[in-house]
Structure 1
């Protein structure tokens, strides 16, 4: 009769699902919208208390009888965020988020101190890209010196939620690998990367202990009472949202490619060894299941389609109908959807652009399709890097808000020329967190299945959502993707020229 709760602390909302593993059924789903503080300098921040208030609201909507059955909680959190905490455990400033591009100068400074991007990759497996946690420390030292002077603990968003739930600090390897400081090959903090971030301070003293993926801790008594939960509830190690989505989409074995169409777009796969690209073409992360998770991240996915829908005065929920009379190629329109700058490719100062406009093709349907195609092509660009490295895939598991669009599912199948399926549980990160909680709960009680067995037993796909490549559409998209690449190559060359020192 036990229930296992997954919490996904995202950029746009907090989501809660309660899963009954005996019945193989999600028995409760609740969500709470979050605000976002956006600055003209590229800053994107949230107050940590907003996450806690949203979590309280989600639990309050659960029936008391359901709350009484909760045995364990898993937390999924947006990666790369920085929550500065003082010695008393109080948050000192708004949390800078993954989509914050105000720290690009600090990225360059850290990489210069570490021997450039190649030096960072040699030391830890990843360069320091816009949004990574490492760059937020020197930014805070410069712009919030009083916060930096009182800083006693560095936490990621999911770490802070775990701290609030249990009163204990820890960090697991998956989310830790998104800081830029963890050497993903050895799973240890890189002292040289920490020193490159701040040579005057021992940042390792501010980092929580690292724990294994199946670790768990007991909820604090006062929090259990406040949420109406039993005192014996366990809180699993948790992880970053992409790591939890990997679990929630069953991507814990080789051959499956998971794709998340959310605010950001991501591609990720399971590996049983570190998969590091010496050119930094993808993020060489650890997983939250004891393995590794090579990952491609684009910073503009549903952001692009929702922005176009808002501009034309309709809801993105109606997007499929709006673009129903359009065809692959959007009538010649090509969008580079870089509304938030971009991470893959590394163009943090890029802006969105629309190409190929004429007097006949500038319709809301074509523009909306161009946004969807541009976001999909950007992910295909990252996929090309993974396949060039020898990784092979036979199917795509699709998750995130965009996966609810039948048109987008078919577009992904056609652009990638792979069959696409959507897991029965659409909230992949929250469901993955619930499954990790189930796994760790079994381990804490002296047994339990391994995570691969749990994924096989509990992750199903929705037969009605399967999309298979259409030969004619796939052929058309090959041509249109080449056109997108020409515009992208021009943007990348312009970026390179602007960063070339003048004689």
Structure 2
């Protein structure tokens, strides 16, 4: 009996936290699942939902479709919200904080109107070996094949038709943040998988950006790299 009362009290307390928005929602876009997990102010899990997905080859490169990014997000969120209502009898109408993370690296490129120029290129692609070697030599700093800058530079080297139209490029986490908040930002950890970060300033390595812009094939483009990158934000920044 005492145990039942304790459980009822715990459910009532959690329901009150849900109503008051004393919650945080984390959504993770993993390689095989999109997960939505709601926790309370003591970091205890309240509810969770997920959506299974898999990358596919598109034009010879590994990708996830734009449509499935949003379908997966909505499905995982809906499952989590239903879980809340079933377990605590509360409709989820307020959330204290929301954070997104996703597979690092990769390449999502957009034109000045915000239209995606090519299908999302994931971290799984290894078509960027030439860019990896040239940039690693240029910076004297290892630039892995999966990094976003390697994807952009490889597209430049390949003279891809879309390159001159790029006005913004980011990772999957940056894309979701942008579409939901209107802000072109990225957590500094994720940003470090796009381009090298200066540990003192917590932003991109200025010297490397200048070296990149000075490459003849890059200098011929209508853009400068610093205008294309999301703003890196340190942990705890809204």
> How high is the TM-score relative to the length of structure 2?
0.76
Q: Does the alignment pair 1:45 with 2:45?
A: no
Aligned to 1:54: 72
Of the three residues 207, 214, 232, the one matched with 2:229 is: 207
Q: Is the 8 A contact 1:163 1:169 kept in 2?
A: yes
CA shift digits 1:347-388 (9 cap, x unpaired): xxxxxxxxxxxxxxxxxxxxxxxxxxxxxxxxxxxxxxxxxx
Q: How far does residue 157 in structure 1 lie from its aligned partner after superposition?
A: 1.2
Q: Is the 8 A contact 2:37 2:48 kept in 1?
A: yes
Of the three residues 94, 101, 104, the one matched with 2:129 is: 104
Q: Is the 8 A contact 2:49 2:78 kept in 1?
A: no
Equivalent runs, 1:57-68 vs 2, <5 Å? 57-61=75-79, 62-63=81-82, 65-68=90-93
Q: Is the 8 A contact 1:19 1:27 kept in 2?
A: yes
Q: Does the alignment pair 1:86 with 2:111?
A: yes
Aligned counterparts of 1:214 and 1:27: Cα–Cα separation in 2: 22
Equivalent runs, 1:134-145 vs 2, <5 Å? 134-143=149-158, 145=160
Q: Is the 8 A contact 1:111 1:196 kept in 2?
A: no
Aligned to 1:36: 55
Q: Is the 8 A contact 1:134 1:197 kept in 2?
A: no
Q: Does the alignment pair 1:148 with 2:163?
A: yes
Equivalent runs, 1:468-479 vs 2, <5 Å? none
Larger Rg over CA atoms: 1
SS in 2 for 1:146: coil
Unaligned runs of 5+ in 2: 1-16
Unaligned runs of 5+ in 1: 121-126, 217-503
Equivalent runs, 1:178-217 vs 2, <5 Å? 178-198=193-213, 199=215, 200=219, 201-216=223-238
Aligned to 1:6: 26
Q: How far does residue 44 in structure 1 lie from its aligned partner after superposition?
A: 2.5
Equivalent runs, 1:460-471 vs 2, <5 Å? none
Aligned counterparts of 2:67 and 2:158: Cα–Cα separation in 1: 22
Of the three residues 179, 182, 193, the one matched with 1:167 is: 182
Q: Is the 8 A contact 1:38 1:44 kept in 2?
A: yes
Aligned to 1:75: 100
Q: Is the 8 A contact 2:50 2:77 kept in 1?
A: no
CA separation of 1:142 and 1:45: change in aligned 2, threshold 3 A: farther
Equivalent runs, 1:369-388 vs 2, <5 Å? none
Q: How far does residue 54 in structure 1 lie from its aligned partner after superposition?
A: 0.5
CA shift digits 1:264-304 (9 cap, x unpaired): xxxxxxxxxxxxxxxxxxxxxxxxxxxxxxxxxxxxxxxxx
- Which 4+ stretches in 1 moved above 6 angstroms? none
Q: How far does residue 108 in structure 1 lie from its aligned partner after superposition?
A: 0.8
> How high is the TM-score relative to the length of structure 1?
0.38
